[in-house]
Amino acid sequence: MTTEYSGGGDPKRSLELLWGVQPAPRRGPKPKLTVEEIVRTAIAIADAEGLDALSMRRVADGLGVAPMSIYTYVPSKAELIDVMFDRALAELTPPDDVPGGWRPKLEHLARDNWDLYHRHPWLLHVSVVRPPMGPAIFAKYEFELRAVDGIGLTDVEMDSVVALVTGFAESSARVSVNVAEAERRTGMSDVQWWETMAPLLEQIDTGGDEYPLSARVGASAGMEYQGAVGPRHAFEFGLARILDGIEVLIASRR
Amino acid sequence: MTTEYSGGGDPKRSLELLWGVQPAPRRGPKPKLTVEEIVRTAIAIADAEGLDALSMRRVADGLGVAPMSIYTYVPSKAELIDVMFDRALAELTPPDDVPGGWRPKLEHLARDNWDLYHRHPWLLHVSVVRPPMGPAIFAKYEFELRAVDGIGLTDVEMDSVVALVTGFAESSARVSVNVAEAERRTGMSDVQWWETMAPLLEQIDTGGDEYPLSARVGASAGMEYQGAVGPRHAFEFGLARILDGIEVLIASRR
DNA sequence: CAATATAACGTACGCCGTACAGAGTTTCAT
DNA sequence: ATGAAACTCTGTACGGCGTACGTTATATTG
């Protein structure tokens, strides 16, 4: 699976792509396609088959054109993925209508992100420092900040808090998505995998009873999650701890 | 950059590889290489040039053999990466000698992981559900649990707490590493990138003053971090909040 | 209508992982 | 001692990728 990068080419062209500014062509044949059409097709492929399956040839196939035609609309695969990324983020919803103060609002942000990553797992395979500065990212950052505005935090703390919460949503969604992708790729559930692994491990000399805690806790956790790992539980548990920690900070500011 | 997967082939053979069990061959020519030699070379390449640059041909080149010779020792690239992964995790150090109870011990785990990911950034590009069950992973899980043993948490809570802390270390290291990799790839620092972006964004119609909080907070944060994002600061901030949250949980158990 | 700008396409290059077959080397059974 | 067997190593080849490049077809402008 490929982790793709953004920002390869001309930044100006990238921005025009993201914000839908077309250079207004005058002569030449009518374009058969539009950028949005290409992006929609690409997202559909990535959603259904993963970022691995997303190739320029595949997108072109899906649109009934020759591979190289795509490059008329998009400078390279990197820019295409930039636009895909921004369009996907546009599905996020602001927390403004969530009643009850900063805590439920932050919870909404986390869950909304969690859901998004599950709808578009390929988002997790795109490297997003220097993110594509499209409309969705602007909107996202703004409504995230609104969730923690006016509760006594400094600007930097506001930034840190939303980064912590959304970053946590991303990282726990990553575990969850990885589990699902592993199941799809291997055709084997987590439990099945463990049942295959356990007897093999006993045949290997792991050095005796060196792992008493692992054995005990691993068994309890495995029982609880019905699998090696419980992403949903880890998400809820971690979110509660993080919000508690933020509460401590806010309380100390009063 | 490629996110590589593990566990493709025969699980038994994978385990033997990880635990250094050799099938004791009797006949045939003396092997020119060893698995460990191959793994060391591969890690060196990945450390220096990233997982992108790691190809079987490249490893073979580095060892002075033909590409296909590597397959004598390792069933496929996936298994090679499994072993690389385990060998890298072996660099982690137990928190037992850290004085002062669970909190400094968990801090040690987080910082130790953070450092490891910076020494071996490619670790972040390896998908690790169904992790390679080598000696290092066993040791790691065990000493992680020791950090929170006997402080009144249930087994499941112990598992959740260490997963939260190490998961957080991973996700904040990911941001930091991505920043560094972006700089290396583009030859452009974060600040330079923003300085390129800002004037271009002003030329685009972003819809007027729709982002007042982003503007204010973004400016403060940019000032504070001397860049768009402050991974080190985010790490320290998040770790403090998370440990505060865990403290709340532990206190409630007493 | 001619000039020109644009869209679409075919071909080709250099990467990748690795299947496969063959050649060379060492050890075991006899 | 010798042939068979087991093992290492290698060269070739395949199908996939992103995309550079040059050519052809099409629509608009003067």
In the structure, what pLDDT confidence band is assigned to residue A98 with cuts at 50, 70 and 90?
very high
Mean pLDDT score, A43-64: 96
Cβ atoms of residues B47 and B114 within 8 Å: no
Whether the per-residue pLDDT at A251 is higher than 70: the answer is yes
**Angstrom distance (rounded) from CA A104 to CA A101:** 6
Whether the per-residue pLDDT at B34 is higher than 60: the answer is yes
Mean pLDDT score, B200-211: 82
Q: Do A130 and B164 touch (CB under 8 A)?
A: no
Other Cβ atoms less than 10 A from the Cβ of B50: the count is 17
Of B166, B144, B131, B159, which is closest to residue A219 (Cα–Cα)? B159
Whether the per-residue pLDDT at A2 is higher than 60: the answer is no
pLDDT for the residue numbered B218: 92
**Angstrom distance (rounded) from CA A174 to CA A118:** 9
Residues 6 or more apart whose Cβ sits within 8 Å of residue A111: A169
Whether the per-residue pLDDT at A219 is higher than 60: the answer is yes
Length of chain B: 254
Whether the per-residue pLDDT at A192 is higher than 90: the answer is no
Q: Does this model's pTM top 0.85?
A: yes
Distance A61 CA to C13 C1' (A): 22
Whether the per-residue pLDDT at A228 is higher than 80: the answer is no
pLDDT for the residue numbered B8: 57
- Residue A1 CB closer than 7 angstroms to strand C? no
List A residues 235-254 in contact with B (Cβ-Cβ < 8 A). 237-238, 240-246, 248-249
Mean pLDDT score, A72-79: 94
Question: Exposure of B6 by Cβ count < 10 A (0-12 exposed, 13-18 middle, 19+ buried)?
Answer: buried
Q: Which residues of A touch B12 (CB under 8 A)?
A: 200
The pLDDT tens digits of the residues spanning A6-38 come to 555 678 888 999 998 877 767 889 999 999 999
Q: Give the burial string for A193-219 (b: 16+ CB within 10 Å, else e).
A: bbeebeeeeeebebeeeebebbeebbe
The pLDDT tens digits of the residues spanning A140-186 come to 999 999 999 999 999 999 999 999 999 999 999 999 999 998 888 88
Other Cβ atoms less than 10 A from the Cβ of B145: the count is 21
Closest CA–CA distance from residue A57 to any residue of chain B (Å): 19
Which two structure tokens, joined as six digits, stand for A217? Answer: 């806790």
In the structure, what pLDDT confidence band is assigned to residue B3 with cuts at 50, 70 and 90?
low
Mean pLDDT score, B235-241: 98
